[in-house]
Amino acid sequence: MTKQFNYDDLPVIQTKQGKIRGYQSGGTYIFKGIVYARAKRFQKPEEPECWDGIKEAASYGYVSPMLQEDVPNGELMVPHRYWIQNENCQNLNIWTQSLDKMAMRPVLVWFHGGGFSMGSSIEQKAYNGENMSKYGDVVVVTVNHRLNILGYLDLSQYGEKYADSANAGQEDLIAALKWIKENIKEFGGNPQNVTIFGQSGGGMKVSGLMQMKEADGLFQKGIIMSGVPDKSYKYSDKDSTPLITALLEELNFTEDEVEKLEDIPYAQLAQAYNKVSPKLEAEGEYVGCTPKPNDFYKGEGPDVGFRKEATKIPLMIGSVFGEFYMKPQTFFKDEISKEELMKRIGDRFGDWGEELSDVFQEVYPEKNLADLLTLDTVFRCPTKKFIKEFAKSGGKIYSYLFTLEFPYQHGKTAWHCSDIPFVFHNTELVPVTNIPEISDKLEKQMFDAVIHFAETGDPNHLGIPQWPVSTEDREATMIFDRVCTVRFNFDDSLLELYKKALPNLTLANITQEDNQIQH
């Protein structure tokens, strides 16, 4: 379908630093690659320089360099866009329906996945904010920031200018939110109604900012999607000296030459890091690439307690049925015999297999028993703990679980990232998520819940059952599926039994088994 395009006749936007011009497509105003900060390597971001004239904001900006090359796989499940990498990656993109300063529409700010080491604001095709802005009548912002050792490498013991190096990536996100607060009215947005939302690593960034005093007042609501992993995903507060010493030695620098790390080519720095970090990680030492608890960042709420300010932020939080079980099964679940299936379940769960099978069928009577083999626990269990502790601290929190089965690989359970197209109203961009007579309805139900939450702090709307707030003792979980239902503490017994059967199962185990993990 042809969309009307407009560029020449559009008003010029005055930001704090200078004037910019975007373009209009199909009625949506689009601005790409807006620089919100600048920074020297490892150092705190600063406001961007002002400019004269009019800057064009019609092209996506740089994305953060990665430690490894991207390997295109799993593209049917998670279609990607690969982009130019550069350290000057502090930029954002905006989609809006109005440039009226008085429009005061809700603002949704997206933090991308990929942990704290990979990904970008435009990496997944489903991240495109046009449909969310158009159908939700909201302002959508997606953010790039420094990742891996550029954003999360503790050099604080080597000088005051590196005081924030362990959390520089989070500092970038705060800088983006400050830019949004100062400028978003020019794009029709309400700076006092900002929802930050993210999936996987993006969800971790949401919960992390809630534990940072410097982010207070910059957002009013949060949505965490598959963003609470188990303890194998480490936020280490250990001394970084062994890592930095090894890095300097690998690069033939002395302890007095730390500043040289600022200037060497990133590829050389990444190569050295990739060589020395595995051994240190195996020994339990600090290896960076995640936020580090300190005076700036308190640590994750379920572990150290939620800040009082954090509990004032209404939350939506959830995960998906299968998460990181992304590789194809070696059998067709609609053809395998009961005897063969029970043998496979026994191979995986040992003596617990039969009891687990019975409980699974009680909890998920509509599912094929084979789906027990792809049931996620490494996100679901920590998410349940987060919900319990946040509610216990007085926070308002809504729980969900995305359990849709897809007509792919003979009935694939919901995988990591499979809910994103529904949240962004972008199933049309991800063909595998298109299920006739199902996807359009579920997309609207999920999308409207997100939009209502962004507007009011409450996801309830006429298209779904009444969705109560969860409490410390009663988790009210919205099941997003072919038929949406609300269930209370429904999977507690199943997950407890699962942990008894596989007490040592971690996210790290699963990612090592499956090379189709996408971010």
- Residue at 518 is within a domain: no
Q: Where are the beta strands (DSSP E) in 83-171?
A: 91-96, 105-111, 139-143
Determine the pLDDT at residue 512. 53
Task: Report how far apart, in Å, the C-alpha atoms of 257 and of each of 41, 44, 159, 169, 261 are.
Answer: 15, 20, 12, 23, 8
Based on the domain organization, do 108 and 192 belong to the same domain? yes
- Residue at 91 is within a domain: yes
Determine the pLDDT at residue 331. 86
Whether the Cβ atoms of residue 112 and residue 63 lie closer than 8 Å to each other? no
Rounded to 5 degrees, what are φ and ψ at 121?
A: -70, -15
d(CA 458, CA 480): 16
Do β-strands 28-35 and 105-111 pair in parallel, antiparallel, or remain unpaired?
unpaired
Whether the Cβ atoms of residue 464 and residue 452 lie closer than 8 Å to each other? no
Based on the domain organization, do 123 and 267 belong to the same domain? no
Based on the domain organization, do 346 and 298 belong to the same domain? no
Based on the domain organization, do 369 and 467 belong to the same domain? yes
What would the two tokens of residue 356 be? Answer: 């687990």
Based on the domain organization, do 147 and 9 belong to the same domain? yes
CA nearest neighbour of 184 among 218, 207, 150: 218
Based on the domain organization, do 254 and 269 belong to the same domain? yes
- Residue 276 sits at the vertex; the CA angle it makes with 273 and 280, to the nearest 5 degrees, is 115
What would the two tokens of residue 218 be? Answer: 């910059």
Instruction: Tell me which residue range forms the domain holding 384.
Output: 317-513
Based on the domain organization, do 377 and 405 belong to the same domain? yes
Rounded to 5 degrees, what are φ and ψ at 56?
A: -85, 130
Q: Beta partners for 32?
A: 58
- Residue at 73 is within a domain: no
Based on the domain organization, do 299 and 332 belong to the same domain? no
- Residue at 72 is within a domain: no
Determine the pLDDT at residue 235. 80
d(CA 370, CA 374): 8
Do β-strands 189-199 and 139-143 pair in parallel, antiparallel, or remain unpaired?
unpaired
Clarify whether 200 is annotated catalytic. Answer: yes
- Residue at 288 is within a domain: no
Determine the pLDDT at residue 519. 57
Question: Which residue is associated with the tokens 């379940």?
Answer: 345
Residues of the chain with pLDDT under 50: 515, 517
Where is 508: in which H helix or E strand? helix 507-513
Q: Which of 117, 120, 121, 200 does the annotation list as catalytic?
A: 200
- Residue at 394 is within a domain: yes
**Residue-wise pLDDT tens digits, 74-132:** 889 999 999 999 999 999 999 999 999 999 999 999 999 999 999 999 999 999 999 99
**Residue-wise pLDDT tens digits, 196-254:** 999 999 999 999 999 999 999 999 999 999 999 887 777 888 999 999 999 999 999 99
Based on the domain organization, do 418 and 378 belong to the same domain? yes
Based on the domain organization, do 180 and 270 belong to the same domain? no
Determine the pLDDT at residue 518. 53
Based on the domain organization, do 250 and 197 belong to the same domain? no
What CATH number is given to the structural domain containing 459? 3.40.50.1820
10 Å CB burial of residue 69 (0-12, 13-18, 19+) is: exposed
Based on the domain organization, do 16 and 139 belong to the same domain? yes
- Residue at 357 is within a domain: yes
- Residue 470 sits at the vertex; the CA angle it makes with 468 and 476, to the nearest 5 degrees, is 65
Q: Count how many domains the chain has.
A: 3
